[in-house]
Amino acid sequence: MNIRTRLTLLFVLLVSSIMLLFCVSVYYLYGQFREQEFRQRLEERASTTVRLRDDMGDVPQRDLQSVSMVNQQVTIYDSLGTVLYRQNNQQASFPVPASFLAKISSKSSPYIRIGDVEAVGYQYVNSHRNKKTLLVVASANDQYGFTKLDRLREILLFGWVMSMFIVGIAGYLFATDALRPIAELSTQVNAISVTNIHQRLQVGRQRDELADLGKTFNKLLNRLEEAFVLQKSFVSHASHELRTPLTVMMGQIEVTRLQRRTPEEYELAFDGLLDEVKNMIRLANGLLELAQVNSDAVTSRYQPVRIDELLWQAQGHILNAKPAYQITIDFANLPTQEEELVILGEASLLQTAFQNLMENGCKYSIDGRVAVQLLFERGRIQLAFSDHGYGIPDDDLPHIFEPFYRSDSTMTINGHGIGLALTRRIIELHQGHINVESEVGQGTTFWITLPTPYHSLSPSGEQDERVGNLPTP
């Protein structure tokens, strides 16, 4: 069952229930009104009959016909229940139970209904003569009242059935109108593909829930388009970076094969090929690491690690490969509690991120030096990687974390543009943030903020919970 049919049925069911309740209420209230009105007429007939009989000794037939009711009967009893007078226009008498007579009093006029005949009891006291108490029972058949009640029932039933037909049509139109924006959104969504991923949904009604849904979907499309563009850029740059060393290698091989050469020349050619192979291996490793950190499976390997040990290991790894680099780590602000140095993370990935920042600082600085500083605050660790290099132009700052992006001023320096993109993704996986401050000709500082979700002892000796919610840079 589709939503339109379900909405229509629910609408019809709701309205039909309300209208049925209304019709039943009208029928019941009118029935109560008919009974009250007929009961009042019977009381008036009983009172008139007993007064005329008390005054005149009998009730003229013309008075009976003036207030004629179907099968009416008026019976007068004394206080002992003996029939003193009976006046009726029917052959059979209405049977009056003794219990009914016992209920008649000056304060109570009981009512009874047997079949289609209704009766009312009335007490009369003669105040002029002997103050004799008389009990009067007036009964009749409200044929006209029941006829009106039956007619009302037919009208209400017919009106309810007809209203259900109208409500069904109105409900279908209502559901169609309510779902029209969804159909329009569906049509627009189906029209969006790879060739026009920049297209966005147009929502006619700007202030309802469907408009919010359209805006949410547009935000999703923005993220998808951004990811799609980055993916295309990534593939394009990766293809270019892989093609360059392959082209160089092919050219060296072809040149070497043009003529016979000495062993020294062949060795020199092989050294060049070996350098290009190493370059390709580094590029392939960078691509694999970038693909690895884009997988959420990394978070399942998180273990407690000390941030100072990771920095020492990253420093040692770089200095072993490039002894000319100078990397200084400032541990002057170490906390008194060692637990504050521990974070949850994947040690190899964090070490890779620190190595990238250290190596970039040395590579792009004039003196090949980078300084690392640790700062500790409540619930977080901050690391600053500073160099005195060329600096990053303002136009390049928004793009430095994009894969394979390289500034024009650094194209002469060996690299592929993967390191910063990899570093940023690693830091984000560890619920951290990375910022950059740079001035051309003065140097660059990368700030990393990582949460420490562990407990440490406060100066009073009580447990102090470290909160991992960090402010957005």
At 56-75, the pLDDT tens digits run 655 555 554 445 577 788 88
CA separation for the pair 88, 73 (Å, rounded)? 4
Domain identity same for 119 and 11: yes
Give pLDDT < 50 ranges for the chain. Answer: 64-66, 455-473
Q: Do 459 and 321 reside in the same domain of the chain?
A: yes
Asked if 374 and 333 touch (Cβ cutoff 8 Å), the reply is yes
149, 171, 198 - which closes a domain: 149
Q: How many domains does the chain have?
A: 3
pTM over 0.75: no
Residues 46, 405: Cα–Cα separation, whole Å: 109
190 lies in some domain? no
Q: Give the domain range for residue 449.
A: 301-465
281 and 324 inside one domain: no
- End of a domain among 134, 149, 164? 149
| pLDDT tens string 90-115 | 555 678 888 888 888 878 788 888 88
Query: Residues 271, 305: one domain?
Result: no
For 139-169, b where at least 16 C-beta lie within 10 A, e where not — what string? bbbbeebeeebeebeeebeeeeeebbeebbe
Q: What is residue 240's predicted lDDT score, i.e. its pLDDT?
A: 63
Residue 308 sits in the same domain as residue 254: no
Contact call for residues 189 and 217 (beta carbons, < 8 A)? yes
Domain's final residue, options 102, 120, 149: 149
pLDDT of residue 258: 84
Whether 437 and 351 map to the same domain: the answer is yes
Q: Which residues pair with 114 in a beta bridge?
A: 117
Sign of the alpha-carbon dihedral angle for 23, 24, 25, 29? positive
Q: Does residue 181 form part of some domain?
A: no
Kindly state whether residues 252 and 309 are assigned to the same domain: no
Kindly list the strands in the beta sheet with 365-377, ordered across the sheet, starting from the edge strand earlier in the chain.
326-330, 365-377, 380-389, 443-451, 433-439
Same structural domain for residues 322 and 383?
yes
Report the C-alpha gap between 300 and 455 in whole angstroms: 22
CATH code for the domain of 343 = 3.30.565.10
**3-state class of 74 per DSSP?**
strand
For residue 156, the model assigns a pLDDT of 92
237, 285: one domain: yes
Reference 51, options 138, 110, 111, 118; nearest CA is 138
- CATH code, 44: 3.30.450
